Amino acid sequence: MSKMNLTRRGALKTGAVAGAGLALPTVLRAQDNYLNAPTGDTVTLGFNVPQTGPYADEGADELRAFELAVQHLNGEGDGGMLNTFSSKELQGNGILGKKVAFVTGDTQTKSDAARASAKSMIEKDGALMISGGSSSGVAVAVQGLCQEAGVIFMAGLTHSNDTTGKDKKANGFRHFFNAYMSAAALAPVLKQLYGEERRAYHLTADYTWGWTQQESIAAATEAMGWETVNNVLTPLASTDFSSYIAPVLNSGADVLVLNHYGGNMVNSLTQAVQFGIRDKQVNGKNFEIVVPLYSELMAKGAGANIKGILGSQNWDWKLENEKGEKYAGTNAFVKSFGEKYGFPPSQAAQTCYAQTLLYADAATRAGTFNPCGIVEALEGFEYDGLGNGPTLYRAADHQCFKDVVVVKGAENPSDEFNLVEIVEVTPVEQVTYEPDHPMFAGGDLGTCNPGA
């Protein structure tokens, strides 16, 4: 029988070792203790896009991009932007060695429907990440749901300041630019082309995106000397804007700002042109129309009416060809997408593709699918090679900061893919703002929720 001498130092050592031993499984458990932790050899992502309703075409393009991203992550196809992405963690063998599978939902561009489909994908299909959408109202709603549920939300197309402003959430991330950035990018170009003394009349879609865009554009243009004559809110369900456009003609304004998106924008722009606004002169100046947020599908829908009209985009498929190597990744993505589908990708497609790669890369760098690990990996992450130039995922609000593209409708488009021309690419420094900027004030990022 051995004799045991219990000294103070020995007791402390033993206690520390025993404590560490007991604590270790807890630490390991915490690492795995999150919602929908994958147990098999696949990991499921949820792509929630409008498959019905007025934005169904945009949703279809997002879905094409998601499918392409999944292919590339699984090592199929030419790899697309995996080849140009500055982070070299992704090897085309899925994410953390698990093959990527996906499920899809239909947002119908309705918040309730979008939340229901996201909930179903999380609860029934075990989705670990939700991405997609073509509306800020939907993005805010689904982001809130993902925060409550404990999964990551990689927003698709959402342009309202509120998404990473008063409605920001720790589990939510936005690659797409926002209304403030559009305004900051557009204002210098508007000043250069249309002068400092202008009177602007705003027609604004009556919901979160319209309000924040109007506020942003009005602030940016007023700061350079423009006057805002009027701001008229138009119902989201409007199809005939003629009764809102008619008063513009005699308001004394010489610029009409259409804070409309999708079908609303197509109709309001078409009708504004029909009413002869672009042929009119006020105070010796040509009457101009501005559409702050452009999309390729909107340009297509508006047809010849879009000619010469200024707007902004998050990305354009011609970026690398026209503006050089800084926007590397653009051509790689256009090639993959174009060869698979026969036409160039939209900005909605690019943002969804990039979000999927960014999620996969963050999980790989974190070494876990735990949302808290992914949040940590994405916060403050600087990267390049996904088509937008050097980009920062800011920790304070989970907003991406990168250059903004200013475009105008092509006067003589060479084909249906060249409906807009790049006028300028505004450097990221000019569109960056402080996290506590008044337009983004309020709300609380909170802390990550792993869902368990």
Partner 1 sequence: MDAIILQLLNGLDKGSAYALIALGLTLIFGTLGVVNFAHGALFMIGAFCAVTLSGIFNLSHKSSEPSGTDFLGNPKYEDVLYVKDWFGDAVGAWMLDWSVPLSVLFAIPIMLALGFIMERGLIKHFYRRPHADQILVTFGLAIVLQEVVKYFYGANPIPTAAPAAFRGSFDFGVMLGFDPNVIIYPYWRLVYFAFSAVIIGAVFAFLQFTTFGMVVRAGMADRETVGLLGINIDRRFTFMFGLAAAVAGLAGVMYAPINSPNYHMGMDFLVLSFVVVVVGGMGSLAGAVLAGFLLGILESFASMNEVKMILPGIDQIVIYLVAIIILLTRPRGLMGRRGVMEE
Site residues (vs partner 1, CB under 8 A) = 52-57, 60, 230, 232, 235, 237, 239-240, 242-244, 246-247, 249-250, 263, 266-267, 270-271, 274-276, 279-280, 297, 300-305, 317, 334-335, 338-339, 343-344, 414-415, 417
93 vs 238 by CB, closer to partner 1: 238
Q: Is 319 exposed, middle or buried (0-12, 13-18, 19+ CB in 10 A)?
A: buried
Query: Pick from 247, 300, 249: which is nearest to 270 by CA?
Result: 300
36 vs 231 by CB, closer to partner 1: 231
Q: Is 95 exposed, middle or buried (0-12, 13-18, 19+ CB in 10 A)?
A: buried
Residue 142's SS3 state is: helix
Whole-number Cα distances in Å, 184 to 63, 296, 312, 341, 445? 30, 21, 10, 34, 24
111 vs 268 by CB, closer to partner 1: 268
Residues 6+ apart with CB under 8 A from 141: 111, 112, 114, 115
Do residues 228 and 218 make contact, with C-beta atoms less than 8 angstroms apart?
yes
230 vs 432 by CB, closer to partner 1: 230
264 vs 388 by CB, closer to partner 1: 264
Beta strand ranges found along 168-226 (DSSP E): 172-174, 199-205
Q: How far is the CB of 371 from partner 1 (least distance, A)?
A: 33
Do residues 342 and 310 make contact, with C-beta atoms less than 8 angstroms apart?
no
Q: How far is the CB of 164 from partner 1 (least distance, A)?
A: 28
249 vs 439 by CB, closer to partner 1: 249
Do residues 205 and 259 make contact, with C-beta atoms less than 8 angstroms apart?
yes
63 vs 185 by CB, closer to partner 1: 63
Q: How far is the CB of 193 from partner 1 (least distance, A)?
A: 23
Do residues 238 and 317 make contact, with C-beta atoms less than 8 angstroms apart?
no
Q: How far is the CB of 338 from partner 1 (least distance, A)?
A: 5
CA 353, CA 2: separation in Å to the nearest integer? 67
Q: How far is the CB of 343 from partner 1 (least distance, A)?
A: 8
* Tokens matching residue 452: 């368990």
CA angle 17, 19, 25 (to 5 degrees): 105
94 vs 301 by CB, closer to partner 1: 301
CA 332, CA 336: separation in Å to the nearest integer? 6
Q: How far is the CB of 246 from partner 1 (least distance, A)?
A: 5
CA 274, CA 313: separation in Å to the nearest integer? 25
Q: How far is the CB of 198 from partner 1 (least distance, A)?
A: 18
| CB atoms closer than 10 angstroms to residue 136 | 29
CA 420, CA 367: separation in Å to the nearest integer? 42
Q: How far is the CB of 166 from partner 1 (least distance, A)?
A: 24
Taking the chain, what is the end-to-end CA distance rounded to the nearest angstrom?
Answer: 48
320 vs 384 by CB, closer to partner 1: 320
Give the HSE-up count for residue 370: Cα atoms under 13 Å, Cβ half-sphere: 17
Q: How far is the CB of 162 from partner 1 (least distance, A)?
A: 22
26 vs 274 by CB, closer to partner 1: 274
193 vs 246 by CB, closer to partner 1: 246
Residues 6+ apart with CB under 8 A from 392: 380, 381, 382, 400, 401, 402, 428
Q: How far is the CB of 88 from partner 1 (least distance, A)?
A: 26
Q: How far is the CB of 298 from partner 1 (least distance, A)?
A: 8
